[in-house]
Amino acid sequence: MSKKHTSEQFWKLYEKLPQELKDALFAEETGNNIHNICERNEIEKYLGEMVDYVGQVLVGVLPLEDFQEILEKELKLKKSAAKKVAQEINRFIFYPVKPALEEIYKVPITPPPAGPKVALSPEAVAPSEEKPTTPPAKDVYREPIE
């Protein structure tokens, strides 16, 4: 079940968004795309909820991977219909802002836990020397250049 956020929480999240996502969130084109997708798939009665879920993805509270599942569970759409709607929403709304979405959904990489320190000899740290590979005598796949 998706979690509802207060207006205050929404605006705090909104302030931290990249400009590209802020623009997409309130763009007329985004609204038109959602409306057209709902109309094409005959789910106009869920337009308000669809706008809400798309907004949740754009502000960073609903991961894109969970979008189709939410449509199935919350809107009670059949799996095939939810998949089709999710694909269209992804294509027309999320894909154009994909780099910005990846930026807000990236998981920080934590360093591995510190283990016991081991002293290494300089020989163990020095990079190994690699021998260059020699090309084969004759390449049977190449044609001679004339």
Which residue is it, tokens 């998706």?
A: 2
Rounded to whole angstroms, how far apart are CA atoms 63 and 92?
17
pTM greater than 0.85:
no
Task: Identify the pLDDT of residue 128.
Answer: 52
Which residue is it, tokens 């929480």?
A: 9
The pLDDT tens digits of the residues spanning 10-38 come to: 788 888 888 998 899 889 999 999 999 99
pLDDT(53) > 50: yes
Helix (H) or strand (E) holding 11, with range, is helix 7-16
